Amino acid sequence: MKIGVFDSGVGGLTVLKELLKFKNEYYYFGDNINIPYGTKTKLQLELLSSKIVDFLISKNVDMIIIACGTISSNVYEYLKSKYDIPIYDIISPTLEYLKGKEYYTFATPMTCKSKIFNNSIECPLLVPAIENNLDVTNILKEYLDKIPNNSNLVLGCTHYPFLTNEILSLRPDLNLINMGKVLCDDLNLKPSKLKIRLYFSKVDHNLINNIDKIIDYDFQLEELCLNYQK
């Protein structure tokens, strides 16, 4: 099966890492030239995500996974109604998993604005810091101070699992919920032959470092420069 996966940048690689347990053919697109998505308007998100879906469809994928919390919370229904191809979002399985549970959520401003999660805390500085390999300790301390002890904390942006070790070193009492893991538990994928194609709208040293942190398989990296600004 050919599976398309996309995100605003490298965050969706944390979802792809979970998907790799099911050996299929994956086409990943990270739109890091337009990052961050969390501060964009809904119209901008519709335009950007549509161009990516069109690209993935051109690769003859059988299904598409939105590995982006911001897109999932704001334009998932729009994309589902626009395209015939099966499209799955990253948030719905997590919301089902959370039923009856008390939790807090770290999320982007647009995901918080959608009110899809309870107790959402805006974390606008995390995605740019992760993409640029910056130290986030002080930023995390500020955000984590808002979370009560022994809480469930949803990592409501797929970039945030990059920070799992840093978060737990500061707050080992928290139970972190990784949306990518929940999604993979929910999907009924049959293993096939593993093949990975990674596409990004901008390739640089920070990107390569971030890929190496997450993906530990052999893969083919292809640079695809799309000018979404025109």
The question of whether 68 is a catalytic residue gets the answer yes
Q: What is the DSSP letter of 211?
A: H
CA of 229: how far to CAs of 8, 100, 158, 180, in Å? 15, 43, 24, 30
Two tokens, residue 51:
């161009």
The question of whether 184 is a catalytic residue gets the answer no
Catalytic residue, candidates 68, 112, 123, 184: 68
In terms of Cβ atoms closer than 10 Å to its own Cβ (0-12, 13-18, 19+), residue 153 is buried
Do 38 and 131 contact (CB within 8 A), yes or no?
Answer: no
Catalytic residue, candidates 112, 123, 157, 184: 157
Name the region of 56 (left: φ>0; alpha: ψ -120 to 50; beta: rest). Answer: alpha
Do 30 and 10 contact (CB within 8 A), yes or no?
Answer: yes
Catalytic annotation, residues: 68, 157
